[in-house]
A and B are shown apart, each in its own frame.
Chain A
Amino acid sequence: QVQLQQWGAGLLEPSETLSLICSVSGGSFSGYYWSWVRQPPGKGLEWIGDIYHNGYTNYIPSLKSRVTMSLDHSKNQFSLTLTSVTAADTAVYYCARNWELWGQGTLVTVSS
């Protein structure tokens, strides 16, 4: 059974870099796209971007200058990096595969 397990720092100060990893167990990267989504407290979902199994990426325009997504085939992991965070980046971050599988979510709080 394929599962997504994610982790990363949960508390950041303004201007720091958010880094999250999503690990895929029981499956491979081939043929899928891998997405990151976030949900600010009490609000709706926001698509951040995705990366295809070949490394091709798409990002939401509003975050494009600060976002990087990458794959590590050797570890069956994909990652999200978001630079220069502010309080507006406080949210639960989810990874997902083809919208059929979701990670458990990681709460990231940006506060001084």
Chain B
Amino acid sequence: QTVVTQEPSLTVSPGGTVTLTCAPSTGAVTRGHSPTWIQQKPGQVPRTVIHSTDIRQSWTPARFSGSLLGGTAALTLSGVQPEDEADYHCLLLCGPVWVFGGGTKLTVL
């Protein structure tokens, strides 16, 4: 089964920019993987911020953007806010099954 890899943790300063990546063990990410990014704060329900590579949900701030970058799916946060501190899970459609990455713990410090 495909393994999806994310950075375990990243730290960014308030107002800074950070890029989280998501890579499957099977090769490059394409739009066909329908990359989805899910934010989860401690004790809270997951909330999808990006789906289908680069489509923001209605509640997703414009500072969140999704893309394909060097064979990976990427989530870029520009002008990071303290409230962006959270776990970010990526999700890829690999054939008929969805596979989550291990998650990236983003610290805003």
A residues contacting B by CB (< 8 A) are 35, 37, 44-47, 50, 58, 60-62, 94, 98-100, 102-105
B51 touches A35 (CB 8 A): no
A102 touches B100 (CB 8 A): no
Q: Interface residue count for B (Cβ, 8 Å)?
A: 20
In the complex the two chains form, what is the Cα distance from A14 to B91 in whole Å? Answer: 30
B45 touches A105 (CB 8 A): yes
With both chains docked as a complex, state the minimum distance between the C-beta of A20 and any C-beta of chain B, in angstroms: 15
B residues contacting A by CB (< 8 A) are 1, 36, 38, 40, 45-48, 51, 57, 89, 91, 96-103
Pick the contact of B98 from A44, A50, A100 — CB < 8 Å? A50
Q: Which residue of chain A is the closest to B6 with respect to CB atoms?
A: A44
In the complex the two chains form, what is the Cα distance from A97 to B106 in whole Å? Answer: 26
Pick the contact of A99 from B40, B48, B97, B99 — CB < 8 Å? B48
